[in-house]
Amino acid sequence: MIERLRKIGFAKLTSVEEALEKLFAKIKIINSKEIETLKALNWIIAEDIESQINVPSFDKSAMDGYAVVAEDTFGASPSNPKYVNKVGKIEIGEDSDLKLKKGEAIRISTGAMIPDGADAVVKIEDTEIDEDDKIRIFNPVAPGKNMAKEGEDIQKEQIIIDKGTELKAEHIALLCSQGIDKIKVRKKPNVSVFATGDELVEIGNPLGKSQIYNSNTPMIANLVRTYGGEVILEATLKDNKSLITQNLTDALKSSDIVLFTGGTSVGTQDYLPEIVSKNADILTHGVAMRPGEPILIAHKDEKLILCLPGTPVAAYVGFIKFAGPALRKMMGAMETDPRREIIAEMDKDVPVSRMGYLHHLRVQLKQNEHKFIASSVRLKGSGIITSLTKSDGIVEISKEQEGIKAGEKVVVKVLIR
């Protein structure tokens, strides 16, 4: 089988959609653990969170001004002010047993508790006060004006954060506003990252004439961290069957996902397809996308093995299309692809070299008046790392398209940085 593929290339390519479906079908959501809310940034929450209290938990003022009985202000104008008497003051965070009656007003700060009897707040700039604490009101207010009612933002027992949400600063603020100090989150999947190839040299070592520095392992390892995984091993392996087999076997004992780059195509030194087929069940080998055609996806029990191409751009694209989503699926994330999308117009025609493949076009973005313009990055080879560093995002050209026309609207998936 392996020798036949080496002679003819991939006999059949799987569509990206089918490959993702096969991959996702084998993923089991990882266990959860409890952590402190204050340390939960970028973790995936494992359960729906219900509010513990109403927010706000009391009627409060939305302005600096005077708490009043709204009816006392009706008909007020600059030429015909209404008069009330100041009978006290309430500051933010202050408990008060003051009660308001008609014809009275209480000075109140933004965020302070509305006293009993008041049903509105007059802004301070719409009033004047004299030495005898007589207040003139120049603009009327309706009941409920300039105040936040109890539970207006959040009702008690309301779901405030859905399971699968990736927690950001605003989510942590929301949890803290509820007094929730600990939450359950999904554990980070353990990932082992390997690069294979006799030509690879680690940075800090002298470079031979036919050698290259290994950039794949640090790139993929950092992508794993960006997508929420825990890198437990990074290593570079020579093209040696027994060495690769031993490392794969060992990694599967402690890893949820094992990632390889290189050695997955049909060359004479590409041992991974043969090794993986003997140690796991292959779901897909060869995907109809460019770059990234030689991708191999396999599983053993509840562990995943993903073999990405050796060229850096193809490895990057393979990761964000398969490995990254697999990581997030394993953590139960609502969004398996966290990339932000921007609608833009292409500045020039972009043909594809061959239909039937999902093409990943690297683009730069510029904002022109009220729209974004996308320009294809000139350097397109799958080994040219600067084609990624110069890109803002990727446009996916479907397998049915012959290309993109100038002026056509496209969806740009912005690179995560």
Closest alpha carbon to 377 in 366, 359, 361:
361
Whole-number Å distance between alpha carbons of 276 and 356: 27
pLDDT tens for each residue of 40-97: 999 999 999 999 999 999 999 999 999 999 999 999 999 999 999 999 999 999 998 9
The per-residue pLDDT for 7 is 40
| Mean pLDDT in residue range 361-382 | 89
- Residue 1's pLDDT band (cuts 50, 70, 90): very low
| Lowest-pLDDT range of 28-42, 110-124, 152-166, 255-269 | 255-269
Q: Is 3.40.630.30 the CATH number for 33-55+152-186?
A: no
The highest-level CATH class for domain 2-31+187-330 is: alpha beta
Q: Is 86 in contact with 107 (CB distance < 8 Å)?
A: yes
Say if residue 416's pLDDT is above 60.
Answer: yes
Token duo for residue 250: 């060992």
With cut-offs at 50, 70 and 90, classify the pLDDT of residue 269: low
Q: Hey, which CATH number is domain 60-148, 3.50.50.100, 2.170.190.11, 3.90.1210.10, 3.40.710.10?
A: 2.170.190.11
Tokens of 343: 């609608």
Give me the DSSP letters along 240-294: -HHHHHHHHHHHHHH-SEEEEESS-SSSTT--HHHHHHHHSEEEEE-BSEES-TT
341-414 CATH fold: Beta-clip (2.40.340)
Q: Is the pLDDT of residue 3 over 60?
A: no
pLDDT at 266 over 70: no
Q: Report, as an integer, the average pLDDT of 384-413.
A: 96
Query: Which pLDDT tens digit goes with each residue over 5-38?
Result: 444 456 689 999 999 999 999 999 999 999 999 9
Let me know if the fold of 33-55+152-186 is the same as that of 341-414.
no
Instruction: Give the start-to-end residue ranges of the domains of the chain.
Output: 2-31+187-330, 33-55+152-186, 60-148, 341-414
The per-residue pLDDT for 417 is 85
pTM comes to: 0.86
The per-residue pLDDT for 6 is: 47
349 SS3 class: coil
Instruction: Quote the mean pLDDT of the chain.
Output: 94
Mean pLDDT of 196-207: 90
Cβ neighbours of residue 85 under 8 Å, at least 6 residues apart? 103, 104, 105, 133, 134, 135
